[in-house]
Structure 1
Amino acid sequence: MSNKGTLDLATGLGGKIDKTDVLSAVDKYEKYHVSYGGKEEERKANYTDMVNKYYDLVTSFYEYGWGESFHVAPRWKGESLLESIKRHEHFLALQLGLKPGQKVLDVGCGIGGPLREIARFSSTSVTGLNNNEYQISRGEVLNRNAGLDKTCNFVKADFMKMPFPDNSFDAVYAIEATCHAPDAVGCYSEIYRVLKPGQCFAAYEWCMTDAYDPNNKEHQQIKAEIELGNGLPDIRLTSQCLEAVKQAGFEVVWEKDLAVDSPIPWYLPLDTSHFSLSSFRLTAIGRFITKNMVMALEKIGIAPKGSQRVQNFLEKAAEGLVAGGKKEIFTAMYFFVARKPVHGAQ
């Protein structure tokens, strides 16, 4: 799915972290999480450091295996993974009712795959907000390559403290990004502040479903694997997510877990029992090849020490996501559209 080759993967590992410091960064990142004795309170208190380390460590792996858009999607029979990802982004743009010339904010934009697709699809100007320097530098290159650097841009900032005036944007969206927030109400409140009155915010959220049992040890382990492998301080229930949107001041237009009636499971590309030529790097064979390739690159000194450890926790993440999806205790596609009331001008 991605044009990134082996050398790109190896040289990008670690992001902006000095290559000699990658191993110690992996150590520190892992210790934030339950599997290594970490506490939720510590992850929330240090979420900026934790999430930045996570994306410095994993972005090259993501782009190598997944392409420019780091998210899943509901999928129709006969539809490729790439086609489903694009449709998922178009669906969001349509739900927001985007119109040419509007000013849009992408909260937690990654390297800007959705940003570029939505800008082309809707003829809007999109600003990507991201707190990770490496992802922004990569996104700026891709924007220039796509000819979108005049209408789309990136801003490095924390989405808990956005550097924008009140009522700045015609629409705001987040794709599997605000799950990194230590406080959903605080994050959504910032989005509310920068959105113009009467306009909408839409998001795809990662959530535990009502089927999740916090006293079930298997469920706890699956949740912990997802948090470790995806840089999350905690995973909220869909009901908690919805309540946070309302507490921030939004009127909920509609909400639904899109995983419920997806014709093809969203987690299928990560399931090792599934094989696909179009997304070969995500299959069991593709991941085995990548694992051994990273091992060899680290051994000869091209990839930094610690690269295999990153590959390992991403493998655990994939296992956790598939297990959570199959047991229906986790969804990567809780979707909502919420409107800022007209009387919400500040």
Structure 2
Amino acid sequence: MSTEPEHIALAPKHFKQDKDFADALHGKDAAETGGLSALAHKNKKADKEALDGYFKHWNGKTDKEAEKERLEDYSSLTKHYYNLVTDFYEYGWGSSFHFSTFYKGEPFGQSIARHEHYLALKMGLNENMKVLDVGCGVGGPAREICRFTGCKIVGLNNNDYQVERANHYSKVYGMEDKLQFVKGDFMQMDFEPETFDAAYAIEATVHAPVLEGVYGEIYKSLKPGGVFGVYEWVMTDNYDEKNPEHRKIAYGIEKGDGIPKMYKREVAEKALKKVGFEITYQRDVAENNNQIPWYYPLTGEWKYVQSVKDLLTFFRTSYLGRKITSGMVGMMESFGIAPKDSTKVTDALEDAAVYLVEGGRKKLFTPMMLYICKKPENSN
């Protein structure tokens, strides 16, 4: 059996325009440069276009018309968001852009990896499977799951900068025979039907304007009997859309995380069933009664730090660390190193952190509603 990667070509659509913009914004060395140093390489004119394209949607309005505009512009909104925040994410969090639960004595990095391993375990992934990673980021989870299971993974992402960085990491770590990252819109996938044995999404499908849309595309891409696992961002059953305080928290999460509209748990469950999936397992992984909450890295509470190795991550992600980062970015901006209004991004990320913690503490929000689903064998 050949070990050569099975490269998948997607229809161009508007992809050339997106790629040209990403190249103009991030520069020719985008793949090799990350973190805060990447701000110095950004094209200031293109960065302003990304800032304007993203923040035009966030004027404090939560009425139906404002939501409708964000939902209709989901693709552009999400692309602009990740063009603006990817470097900050990698600087503060690492290459796996997701939350996880924590056990006493467990370091941050180990927790992140365990969260990914658990998903792979519940899905039953193995070395004979071809797997789709929906909304793959810069490929951190794909690399970890590939090492853990031996499966081949195709990562789908509508942000060219992240695709480029993910493929760069594959080369650096010698994983090109197992991993491929491609540009694509998960609401309009160009894969042939029944291409994959399994698919997963880790805190990514929340960017979809309609969950039936992305779940339906995933369903179509799977072979009969294929499995889909997802850690979904949802508002819990405690959330009341009509409660102004609850809506404020949801809006703060939406604005700071590039989400056109947050939905309740029941919406995700109904959407999965509607497109044809059989839900074989479901659980809010955040509800584990651990002494250490999933949102601890954002809290600024030192009592939760698990190891010396965690100190750097915690320093960057805590309230104090975020303020220092914002100050550094402000200095870079004032000296013309970073693009103008870069601090608008750090301010939005700060708001996101505050509302994520508040939503978690009040049990209005979870970033890890886990669903393991199956496409019926007789789906044809």
Alignment TM-score, normalising by the size of structure 2: 0.86
Pair 1:32-2:57 in alignment: yes
Pair 1:145-2:180 in alignment: no
Q: Which amino acid aligns with 1:19?
A: K
State the Cα distance separating 1:329 from its structure 2 match: 0.4
Q: Give, in whole Å, the separation in 1 of the partners of 2:237 and 2:365.
A: 9
Tell me which moved more, 178-187 or 287-296: 287-296
Secondary structure of residue in 2 paired with 1:35: coil
Structure 1 residues 140-189: Cα deviation after superposition (integer angstroms, max 9, x where no partner)? 11111111112100110000111111111011000000000011011101
The 8 Å contact of residues 199 and 218 in structure 2, kept in 1 or not, is answered as: yes
Pair 1:9-2:35 in alignment: yes
State the Cα distance separating 1:273 from its structure 2 match: 3.1
Secondary structure of residue in 1 paired with 2:223: strand
Name the structure 1 match of 2:370.
335
**Equivalent of residue 306 in structure 1, options 313, 336, 341:** 341
State the Cα distance separating 1:274 from its structure 2 match: 3.8
Tell me which moved more, 278-287 or 40-49: 278-287
Secondary structure of residue in 2 paired with 1:44: helix
Name the structure 2 match of 1:170.
197
State the Cα distance separating 1:82 from its structure 2 match: 1.1
The 8 Å contact of residues 56 and 132 in structure 1, kept in 2 or not, is answered as: yes
**Equivalent of residue 212 in structure 1, options 225, 228, 239:** 239
Structure 1 residues 169-227: Cα deviation after superposition (integer angstroms, max 9, x where no partner)? 01100000000001101110110001111121000000001111112211111111100
Secondary structure of residue in 2 paired with 1:162: coil
The 8 Å contact of residues 13 and 57 in structure 1, kept in 2 or not, is answered as: no
The 8 Å contact of residues 229 and 371 in structure 2, kept in 1 or not, is answered as: yes
Structure 1 vs Structure 2 CA RMSD: 1.7
Stretches of structure 2 lacking an aligned partner (at least 5 in a row): 1-32, 306-310
Structure 2 CA distance for partners of 1:61 and 1:262, relative to 1, 3 Å: farther
Structure 2 CA distance for partners of 1:149 and 1:253, relative to 1, 3 Å: same
**Equivalent of residue 123 in structure 2, options 59, 73, 96:** 96
Q: Give, in whole Å, the separation in 1 of the partners of 2:181 and 2:118.
A: 23
Q: Give, in whole Å, the separation in 2 of the partners of 1:177 and 1:55.
A: 12
Q: Which amino acid aligns with 1:188?
A: Y
State the Cα distance separating 1:256 from its structure 2 match: 1.0
**Equivalent of residue 100 in structure 2, options 73, 82, 103:** 73
State the Cα distance separating 1:14 from its structure 2 match: 9.6
Q: Give, in whole Å, the separation in 2 of the partners of 1:305 and 1:313.
A: 15
Q: Give, in whole Å, the separation in 2 of the partners of 1:163 and 1:274.
A: 46
How many pairs are equivalent?
Answer: 338
State the Cα distance separating 1:25 from its structure 2 match: 2.5
Name the structure 2 match of 1:3.
none
Q: Which amino acid aligns with 1:12?
A: A
The 8 Å contact of residues 36 and 91 in structure 2, kept in 1 or not, is answered as: no
State the Cα distance separating 1:36 from its structure 2 match: 5.6
Structure 1 residues 28-71: Cα deviation after superposition (integer angstroms, max 9, x where no partner)? 31221352677111111110100000000000000000000000
Tell me which moved more, 44-53 or 254-263: 254-263
Stretches of structure 1 lacking an aligned partner (at least 5 in a row): 1-6
Name the structure 1 match of 2:297.
269
Alignment TM-score, normalising by the size of structure 1: 0.94
State the Cα distance separating 1:130 from its structure 2 match: 0.3
Structure 2 CA distance for partners of 1:186 and 1:14, relative to 1, 3 Å: farther
Matches within 5 A, 1:48-87: 48-87=75-114
Q: Give, in whole Å, the separation in 2 of the partners of 1:340 and 1:53.
A: 33
Tell me the percent identity.
46
Q: Give, in whole Å, the separation in 1 of the partners of 2:174 and 2:361.
A: 40
Structure 1 residues 280-305: Cα deviation after superposition (integer angstroms, max 9, x where no partner)? 21123322221111111111111111
State the Cα distance separating 1:344 from its structure 2 match: 1.0
